[in-house]
A and B are shown apart, each in its own frame.
Chain A
Amino acid sequence: MSRFLAFLRKEFYHIFRDPRTLIILFGIPIAQLMLFGYVMTNEVRNVKVAIVDNSKDDLSKRLSQKLLSSGFFQLAAIPTSESDYESLFRSGKVKEIVVFEPDFAKNLMKEGKANIQVIADASEPNAAQLIVNYTTAIVNNFTKAEFMKDQTPPGINIKVRMLFNENMRDAYNFIPGLIAVILMLISAMMTAITIAREKEMGTMEILLASPLKPIQIILGKVVPYMILSIVSALVVLALGMLVFKVPVIGSFALLLAEILLYIFLALSLGILISTFVDSQLTAMAISGFVLMLPSILLSGFIFPIKNMPIALQIVANLMPPRWFIEINRTVMLKGGGLNEIWPNTLVLMVMSALFIFISIRKFKIRLQ
């Protein structure tokens, strides 16, 4: 045991003395949280708009007010002529311009209809679509509130409820996904790199020729990253709950148990990768490109798996994060328990067992 502890202490020295390791361990989780939380957001918030009110009547003023007080839009310019529009868009000062026709209120009263022109910057098509949808919805609500107070409108009234994420918050999607991706990064990639380093430096030979047992060497390499992975998972989870207000409706203990299982899986995957490679660079390349990208793109984190071609769906099913993200969403957002997630849990267990089994076989072959 004291042999093992002596070895373990050395691992912590390695980690805390290497700036690159520290950046990956602590910088990347924070950077990713910021990235997904504040940069890659699909939510409409404080979009810069210009309003051209050619009517300036009571109704157009109240509707403008309604738009600007919604929290989605922010008045950035009041162009005086149509020739200004293009330069406003080109310089990026506004993303949308709303134009009221002259005699807006009068037309609406007399003819029962009036026109508003909405021009959006479609160089970012998804954003433009969202902004226009929000604008249309606000205008429709306004019209309904103003003119249909007393009468029941004919036709079908659709009432939508977005279950489990009523306000369509992005954080509900990215926090469960991010936990999966970050843990894969720290556990699998760092384990693979640290073992590969020992091989590359030639120190692995010395360790193997010492009275340390191979299992002690592997555990000594893995335990520090397991501890750091747990800390990292808890930090992301805490930030998700406190800063981004993502709920954990289901059992917290169950969630933690699943996180531990997933960390175990990622560590075994890291060990497996390390049995195939002899240099840190290869270890990084394999975990980075072969592992990270598919686990972000094919895990259902960003793109729904059901919409993928069959071939990619099959590949996606081989990605451990695909099963873990589903677990996270079910437990955190839907309040599901083991009844719902046991198949996923089983898949993760089988995958871990498989990785460990292949690693041990590879290790034995290497020694022969």
Chain B
Amino acid sequence: MKTREPVITVKNMVKKFGSFVANDNLSFEVFKGEIFGFLGANGAGKTTAIRILCGLSSPTSGEMKVAGFDVYRQTEKIKQNIGYMSQKFSLYEDLTVFENIRLYGGVYGMKIADRKARTTEMLERLGLTAYENRKIGDLPLGWKQKLAFSIAILHNPKIVFLDEPTGGVDPITRRQFWNLIYEAVEKGITVFVTTHYMDEAEYCDRASIMADGKIVALDTPLKLKEQYNAANMDEVFLKIAR
């Protein structure tokens, strides 16, 4: 599914908070159908960039297009075409699995029949069919994360933004989570993911590494390892950070 057709174009993106520069002149493209990793230490400016691309924050300057729409003037259109999963857990604990799905389906304007068909398919795939009427608060964290991701792509967005989706989750669940990401990519969804787990960088098609608000490296994991003469992404990251 990998193409060279850009779905996100960012040219000279700058975001300042007062005199603090959170994003310093970022330029990159994300291609349709790829998994684009956005790596960096905490505070490197990853979340700021993702928030701008999702229309949650407005940039100071630069030219940005997401799914073909302008970040300044067409945020409504962008929101219609993306899915978003934030750092914090994002489902309602006091609602059941079904009620959460119905809420998001409603908010994204999905047709009821459409939503029902996809819900059945999704719950079966996750093995959660029996838990449809359980409250989210009663489920284990790993299940919740997988569910949150599946709900974020229920409306079949062009791009899904994942902001540190696997924080605080055990390695096995993380692996399962990445399988879900691969399944999403097979359906043609582009995945934009931030993480500070360097092993996860290996799973990306291309990875960019941010430090102090700048992109310091951007390539496939393989090429990055060659370029920095490292055995794995963790070493790449340590060499760059130094």
Interface residues in chain A, defined as those with a beta carbon under 8 Å from any beta carbon in chain B: 2-3, 5-7, 9-10, 13-14, 17-18, 201-203, 205-213, 367-368
Please indicate the chain A residues that have their CB under 8 angstroms from the CB of B79 in the complex: 209-211
Contacting B94 at CB < 8 Å: which of A2, A6, A17, A208?
A: A17
* B90, A203: Cβ atoms closer than 8 Å: yes
* B88, A7: Cβ atoms closer than 8 Å: no
Query: B85: nearest residue on chain A (CB-CB)?
Result: A206
Query: A202: nearest residue on chain B (CB-CB)?
Result: B88
Count of chain B residues near A, Cβ 8 A: 31
Contacting A201 at CB < 8 Å: which of B56, B76, B88, B161?
A: B88
* A13, B95: Cβ atoms closer than 8 Å: yes
* B89, A7: Cβ atoms closer than 8 Å: no
Interface membership of B80, Cβ < 8 A: yes
**Given contact pairs A13-B99, A208-B56, A367-B58, A6 touches B84 in the complex (Cβ within 8 A):** no
Q: Give 26 A-B contacts (CB < 8 Å), ordered by A residue.
A: A3-B107, A5-B106, A6-B102, A6-B103, A7-B103, A10-B95, A10-B103, A13-B99, A18-B94, A201-B88, A201-B89, A201-B90, A201-B92, A202-B86, A202-B90, A203-B91, A205-B90, A209-B56, A209-B86, A209-B161, A210-B104, A210-B107, A211-B76, A211-B107, A213-B76, A367-B56
Please indicate the chain A residues that have their CB under 8 angstroms from the CB of B95 in the complex: 10, 13
Give A117 to B111 CA distance when docked, in angstroms.
85
Query: Sorted from nearest, which 4 A-B pairs have the closest CB atoms?
Result: A6-B106, A202-B88, A209-B84, A206-B90
* B86, A13: Cβ atoms closer than 8 Å: no
* B57, A368: Cβ atoms closer than 8 Å: yes
Please indicate the chain B residues that have their CB under 8 angstroms from the CB of A210 in the complex: 79, 84, 104, 107-108
Interface membership of B55, Cβ < 8 A: yes
* B106, A211: Cβ atoms closer than 8 Å: no
Contacting A3 at CB < 8 Å: which of B76, B92, B102, B109?
A: B109
Please indicate the chain B residues that have their CB under 8 angstroms from the CB of A10 in the complex: 92, 95, 99, 103
* A211, B80: Cβ atoms closer than 8 Å: yes
What secondary structure prevails in chain A residues at the interface with B? helix
Interface membership of B42, Cβ < 8 A: no
Interface membership of B105, Cβ < 8 A: yes
Minimum CB–CB distance for A361 against chain B, Å: 15
Minimum CB–CB distance for B201 against chain A, Å: 24
* B106, A367: Cβ atoms closer than 8 Å: no
Give A343 to B106 CA distance when docked, in angstroms.
44
Within 8 A of A (CB), among B10-44: none
Minimum CB–CB distance for A91 against chain B, Å: 51
Interface membership of B54, Cβ < 8 A: yes
Give A6 to B101 CA distance when docked, in angstroms.
11
* B107, A202: Cβ atoms closer than 8 Å: no
* A202, B89: Cβ atoms closer than 8 Å: yes
Query: A7: nearest residue on chain B (CB-CB)?
Result: B107
* B109, A211: Cβ atoms closer than 8 Å: yes
Give A6 to B109 CA distance when docked, in angstroms.
9
